[in-house]
Amino acid sequence: MAPIGAETARLLDALGVDRAAWTDGSMPSLSPLTGEQVAMVRVSGAADIDAALDRATAAFRAWSRVPAPRRGELVRLFGEELRAAKDSLARLVTIEAGKIPSEGAGEVQEMIDICDFAVGLSRQLYGLTIATERPGHRMMEVWHPLGVIGVISAFNFPVAVWAWNAALALVCGNSVVWKPSEKTPLTALATQAIFERALARFGEAPAGLSQLLIGGREAGEALVDDARVALVSATGSTRMGRAVAPRLAGRFARAILELGGNNGVIVAPSADLDLALRGVAFGAMGTAGQRCTTTRRLFVHDSIHDAFVARLKAAYASVAVGNPLEGDVLVGPLIDRAAFEAMQAALAAARDAGGVVHGGTRVGEGASYYVRPALVEMPGQVGPVLEETFAPILYVMRYDDLDAAIRLHNAVAAGLSSAIFTRDLTEAERFLAASDCGIANVNLGTSGAEIGGAFGGEKETGGGRESGSDSWKAYMRRATNTVNYSDALPLAQGVSFEI
Ligand code: NAD
């Protein structure tokens, strides 16, 4: 096989990325597959960011006046370009984020899906007509474009999260400035090149409609603090959200926060254990435990605990771990050494708290970090179980009373995704009514949401919603308009003011 650097170069060329952006910059770009450096990426400086925001402001003014269905046409063309580039971009996602090929392809498919969704939405940005208490009046709410939308994204969904935001933001009449993770700049550059092909075909979009800023935390902070940015949609750790949220609030900017998860699954006595096994295995081990929706806590009923956990342990022991470009594996690498060290620290803390650890050991050596996923039998929900460690660690606990299990399930700081496996309708409904997460599922796992629903979570997950349902409303501003078509001027609430 060709070295990964050579393949990366071939893909970037094929995807139309300007060589200057990734050959002579100052930021090394590494592939977690081997740890090798595959590019040197140019970083956006303060002057670049300032100029980008000026362009984005002007682009917003022009784009907001383009009829929404016409804006949808640009997103439709982008979806076409993504379809044409799907295989190359998916492969680059594998190289840069370490995802197995079907997940790399799934990530690009998600971008295509949200484009389709947004195209339909471009003819459905509707408001309400509301009954008024005054005769001869009409009251309605109307949705207007918002402004420049800043997108800050995490390494683990290096391109799909931007697409969720950008496709909606663009049909809603906004311009977009994207600061991707410093760990995944290449897929961002490739996505920008693909978008620019759609722009060229569209022909009449303002310059600077969607721009890319490359850099680390400082570039993100520049978006957060700049009054020209109306909304920042920030995806990443709760630590990042804790830094960003007060700064945005300080200038009364809007925020969509999509932060960490600590997602739990309950396996009840009546569960179909085959389904539960597959749902938990994918949720906990898929993407090497590096999804915000990864299953991290498992509550298994006493009556089935030993049988189910034995099957799960067997699945953990047999799952193939390794370089996804070299063979049929289900678990690729951790993103970097820091992720490996955080995983080992969490496992040590689990042992100290009385946990029995299965797996979790490093596979191979060198500059890449592959691990066997860890299943940890815990005596209770203590220590590291209460935290998100962004690695494949599943903490398994027993329960005998569903209400107590649901209370434990809710007793963590994050509130993103949750699931129960049961064939008992009342148990399923009790769980759905009580789970405090933004996502609650029955008989499927915590991972792998579709774009049609609103995605996001409560508590320390940040409260944001993006993607489907009516998430588009976050990218627009609502005006309530009242029109008086009578000859009188009745005041609301019967107030009298005769002059
Ligand atoms: P991270 O918080 O380290 O970085 C995320 C992004 O925020 C990066 O682009 C980074 O440069 C930027 N950033 C960091 N500090 C910042 C600051 N103070 N101001 C402005 N920008 C800042 O996260 P990561 O390691 O890339 O991703 C993993 C985390 O993301 C996990 O906690 C995971 O659960 C979470 N995540 C959440 C969702 C969701 O939708 N809820 C989706 C994907 C990932």
Kindly state the percentage of the chain with pLDDT values over 90: 99
pLDDT digits (tens, 9 = 90+) for 369-387: 999 999 999 999 999 999 9
Q: Is 437 in the pocket of ligand 1 (CB under 6 A)?
A: no
Inter-residue contact 186 to 29 (CB < 8 Å): yes
Catalytic residue among 115, 172, 292, 437: 292
CATH 3.40.309.10, the chain: domain bounds:
263-442
Q: Please determine, for residue 1, whether its predicted confidence score (pLDDT) is greater than 50.
A: no
474 C-beta closer than 6 A to ligand 1: no
CATH fold group of domain 263-442: Aldehyde Dehydrogenase; Chain A, domain 2 (3.40.309)
Structure tokens at 371: 């691990």
The atom number, within ligand 1, closest to the CA of 261 reads: 34
100-to-93, 323, 377, 484 alpha-carbon distances in Å: 9, 8, 27, 60
For range 178-206, the mean pLDDT = 98
Pairwise CA distance, residues 213 & 45, whole Å: 9
Pick from 156, 178, 293, 341 the residue to mutate for probing ligand 1's pocket: most ligand atoms within 8 Å of its CB: 156
The SS3 assignment for 438 reads coil
> Do residues 211 and 178 lie in contact, with contact meaning Cβ atoms separated by under 8 Å?
yes
Q: Which of 424-433's residues contact partners 24+ apart within 8 Å by CB, and which partners?
A: 424/268, 424/269, 424/270, 427/268, 427/270, 427/402, 430/402, 430/403, 430/406, 431/266, 431/402, 431/406
- For CATH 3.40.605.10, the residue range(s) in the chain are 3-259+462-479
3-state helix, strand, coil in the chain (%, to 5): 45, 20, 35
Contact 118, 72 (CB under 8 A): yes
* Distance in Å, CA 65 to ligand 1 centroid: 33
Report the chain's mean pLDDT, rounded to a whole number: 97
Q: State whether ipTM is beyond 0.85.
A: yes
Check pocket membership of 182 for ligand 1, CB cut-off 6 A.
yes
Q: Which atom of ligand 1 is nearest to the CA of 157?
A: 43
Residue 375: per-residue pLDDT: 98
Position 403 pLDDT exceeds 70? yes
429 given a catalytic annotation: no
Give the relative orientation of helices 4-14 and 68-97 as an angle to the nearest 10 degrees: 170
- Does the C-beta of 162 come closer than 6 Å to ligand 1? no
User: Of 377, 218, 415, 389, whose CA–CA distance to 299 is shortest?
Assistant: 377
Q: What distance in Å separates the CA atoms of residue 55 and residue 64, rounded to the nearest whole number?
A: 14
Residue range 204-242, pLDDT digits in tens: 999 999 999 999 999 999 999 999 999 999 999 999 999
Which distant-in-sequence residues (6+ apart) come within 8 Å of 191 by Cβ?
Answer: 89, 111, 159, 162, 163
Burial class (CB in 10 A: 0-12, 13-18, 19+), 437: buried
**HSE value, Cβ hemisphere, 13 Å, CA-based, for 404:** 9
What pLDDT does 415 receive? 98
Q: pLDDT tens across 55-96, in order?
A: 999 999 999 999 999 999 999 999 999 999 999 999 999 999
Supply angle C-alpha 457, 459, 461, rounded to 5: 45
Query: Helix (H, G, I), strand (E, B), or coil: what is residue 294?
Result: coil
Whether residue 276 has pLDDT greater than 60: yes
Confidence of residue 99 (pLDDT cuts 50, 70, 90): very high
Any atom of ligand 1 within 6 Å of the Cβ of 259: yes
The pLDDT tens digits for 253-264 are 999 999 999 999
Residues near 85 by beta carbon (within 8 Å), at least 6 away in sequence:
15, 108, 190, 194
pLDDT exceeds cutoff 70 at 2: no
Element counts in the chain: helices (H) and strands (E): 14, 23
- Please identify, by atom number, the ligand 1 atom nearest to the C-alpha of residue 466: 40
3-259+462-479 under CATH 3.40.605.10, yes or no: yes
- Confidence at 3, pLDDT banded by 50, 70, 90: confident
> How large a percentage of the chain has pLDDT more than 70?
100
Ligand 1 contacts CB of residue 216 (under 6 A): yes
Give the relative orientation of helices 68-97 and 185-202 as an angle to the nearest 10 degrees. 150
pLDDT score, position 126: 96
Q: Please confirm, yes or no, whether 437 is among the known catalytic residues.
A: no
Using alpha carbons, list the distances in angstroms from residue 111 to 91, 165, 200, 211, 459: 15, 10, 19, 17, 27
CA distance between the termini of the chain: 87
